[in-house]
Structure 1
Amino acid sequence: MSAPIDAPDWRSLSQDDRDAGFNNSLAVKDSPAMLAGWELQSAEVRAAYPQHLDLRYGPRERNRIDFLNAGAKGPTLVFIHGGYWQARAKETFTFCAAGPMAHGINVAFVGYTLAPDATLDDIVSEVRTSIDYLATELTALGGDPDRMIVSGWSAGGHLSSMMLAHPRIKAGLLISGIYDLEPIQYTYLNEKLRLDKAMADRNSPMKQPGGANKPVAIVVGSGELPLLRKQSADFAAHRARHGLPVVYEEIPGANHFTIMETLSSPSGRMTTLARQLAEQVTGAR
């Protein structure tokens, strides 16, 4: 679980190289086409499951949840979208539900206010409120509020890690996330985030002592940017040092975008990890 040997020290990089080190869209040239494909696939899935879309959990426009019911009051994967806390929307990622739902796992897609209209403190608070809402409403929606697994991609991986301490969350599947926000303060991303040291530290799981004693799988693509791989490897090592349950995997050949194919496929590796976490949660009841 050590950091990849090809990961540079971000402090030693020039500004341009540091920015490029976190710029996934620049690194994956065909990412716009992939995102367009996700939008089309997601629209089809939403059309097939229109019953519980845009459930409002808070007062702001993007405080909404899409709940897709796989039936039989099963566990729920709470998925938080990425976009570096300042882009994208829950609707882009509905296509990912196909994998978990094939195994009887409900999926709830959480929306949240983007920076700069919200600070990172605000965003974390909104997502926490969405978990509170689901804990109250899942029974009526057809899920089991005692079997919630939090998951997310990129910025959503970070937000998922921040939700592990929530008492209603039983496990986590963290995908290509950021767990130490210090380097983000010194990149182009901070123009909208406006992080200062205090905000970055309190929202960095790597800066906190210990963590939630719950099953967690941390996943990243072997073809992702080295600084992103380092973030995941470092956070897995952090949990291991504190004796906390953790599985760390690099999906062979996957980049920051193609990794999501392993969740949308019923036989994909991340779907398998989600199923295994759901089984652990069920067995712990």
Structure 2
Amino acid sequence: MKRFDMLTASERDAAYDNTAAVSNSARQLADFEDRSARLLTQVACQQDLRYGPKERQLFDYFPGKRDAPTLIFVHGGYWQMRHKNTFRFVVDGALKQGLNAALIGYTLAPQASLAQIVQEVRQGIAAVSAHAVKIGANRHVLVSGWSAGGHLAALCLGCEAVVAGLGASGIYDLAPIRMTYLNRALQLTEQDTDIYSPMALSAVEKPFVIAFGTQELPQLKSQSKAFSDYRLNLPGCLLPVSGADHFSILNDLADPHGALLPALLSA
């Protein structure tokens, strides 16, 4: 494989363009919206609880068993797209396993820098844990995320309430992102990649499941494999999901009997 910085600009952009790489991505996202709306008619949900003053500083809380931890899901979209509401369906599996569940929203780039986004998600995790305690539930959190959300989950593994984490199709080294179209909104500097790349930081010694679809773009698979090597001998595992692409991997997380949720619960 050619070194990433030796690729042309268009090749670098294509290497991280999941929407273009998955031909039915729009249809999958529309299905996510439908399933998320349907879930709200089937289970109790405390919607749009505020953890900060900004428009997107909101979280949803789905009560499960009071003595169970809360699975938090952080959405992706390369830190500049998507909304938590699209991904409510992913907590269905956690609820069927008896967990509490939550989704955290955050301000997107370019309205927020990556530093601000990370801080918001950490605030959101603390707020979810505090809310769980307030309603008599377990304060402990399992933090999960997809794509950019996987990156944010990895960065938040060290939060006090977090006991374990999962990244699905995550980004763990930001250096390549700086060299793509994605950086127009993010405006990452070299210093940012050092501070906010999980692979550039001391590894947190809590369980972390690193999942990716076998039909992902090569760069996405490489990110997960490299982060797994980085965390060698630490709790957790590398989990390839057979046949899954960058979007369909979320169907596995939504399934109580899929590969991802049991791996996280047993990590």
Tell me which interval the TM-score lies in, with the shorter structure as reference length. over 0.9
Q: Are 1:222 and 1:250, in contact at CA under 8 Å, matched by a contact in 2?
A: yes
CA distance in 1, matches of 2:83, 2:263: 24
Letter in structure 1 aligned against 2:216 = E
CA distance in 1, matches of 2:131, 2:91: 19
CA distance in 2, matches of 1:60, 1:195: 22
CA distance in 1, matches of 2:219, 2:234: 23
Q: Are 1:8 and 1:226, in contact at CA under 8 Å, matched by a contact in 2?
A: no
CA distance in 2, matches of 1:22, 1:115: 17
Tell me the SS of whatever aligns to 1:48. Answer: coil
Q: Are 2:164 and 2:264, in contact at CA under 8 Å, matched by a contact in 1?
A: no
Q: Are 2:207 and 2:235, in contact at CA under 8 Å, matched by a contact in 1?
A: yes
CA distance in 1, matches of 2:161, 2:18: 32
Among candidates 264, 276, 283, match of residue 266 of structure 2: 276
TM-score, with structure 1 as normaliser: 0.90
Q: Structure 2: which 5+ runs fail to align?
A: none
CA drift at 1:142: 4.7
Tell me the SS of whatever aligns to 1:54. Answer: strand
Q: In structure 1, what is the equivalent of residue 239 of structure 2?
A: 249
CA distance in 2, matches of 1:159, 1:142: 27
Q: Are 1:113 and 1:123, in contact at CA under 8 Å, matched by a contact in 2?
A: yes
CA drift at 1:13: 1.2
Q: Structure 1: which 5+ runs fail to align?
A: 1-6, 278-285
Q: Are 1:71 and 1:142, in contact at CA under 8 Å, matched by a contact in 2?
A: no
CA distance in 2, matches of 1:235, 1:91: 29
Q: Residues 87 and 141 of structure 1: is their aligned pair in 2 closer, same or farther, counting only changes over 3 Å?
A: farther
Task: Deviation per CA, 1:215-243: give whole Å up to 9, x if none.
Answer: 11100011100000010110110011xx4
Letter in structure 2 aligned against 1:216 = F
Q: Are 2:45 and 2:60, in contact at CA under 8 Å, matched by a contact in 1?
A: no
Q: Are 1:165 and 1:211, in contact at CA under 8 Å, matched by a contact in 2?
A: no
Q: Is 1:154 aligned to residue 144 of structure 2?
A: no
Among candidates 68, 77, 83, match of residue 77 of structure 2: 83
Task: Deviation per CA, 1:16-73: give whole Å up to 9, x if none.
Answer: 1110000000000100000000001001112334541101001101000001112233
Tell me the SS of whatever aligns to 1:109. Answer: strand
Q: Is 1:62 aligned to residue 52 of structure 2?
A: no
CA drift at 1:207: 1.0
Q: Is 1:225 aligned to residue 214 of structure 2?
A: no
Aligned pairs, number: 267
Q: In structure 2, what is the equivalent of residue 166 of structure 1?
A: 159
CA distance in 2, matches of 1:89, 1:21: 23
Task: Deviation per CA, 1:119-147: give whole Å up to 9, x if none.
Answer: 000000000111121222212235311x2
Note the aligned Cα RMSD (angstroms).
Answer: 1.3
CA distance in 2, matches of 1:190, 1:102: 39
Tell me the SS of whatever aligns to 2:164. Answer: strand
Task: Deviation per CA, 1:99-156: give whole Å up to 9, x if none.
Answer: 11111111110000000000000000000111121222212235311x2111000000
Question: For residues 1-285 of structure 1, what are the structure 2 equivalents within 5 Å?
Answer: 8-145=2-139, 147-208=140-201, 210-240=202-232, 243-277=233-267
CA distance in 2, matches of 1:191, 1:180: 17
CA distance in 2, matches of 1:94, 1:51: 10
Task: Deviation per CA, 1:139-175: give whole Å up to 9, x if none.
Answer: 2235311x21110000000000000111211101111
CA distance in 1, matches of 2:45, 2:103: 14
CA distance in 2, matches of 1:27, 1:9: 20
Tell me the SS of whatever aligns to 2:165. Answer: strand
CA drift at 1:201: 1.5
CA distance in 2, matches of 1:142, 1:156: 27
* Greater CA drift, 199-208 or 112-121: 199-208
CA distance in 1, matches of 2:124, 2:135: 14
Q: Are 2:169 and 2:221, in contact at CA under 8 Å, matched by a contact in 1?
A: yes
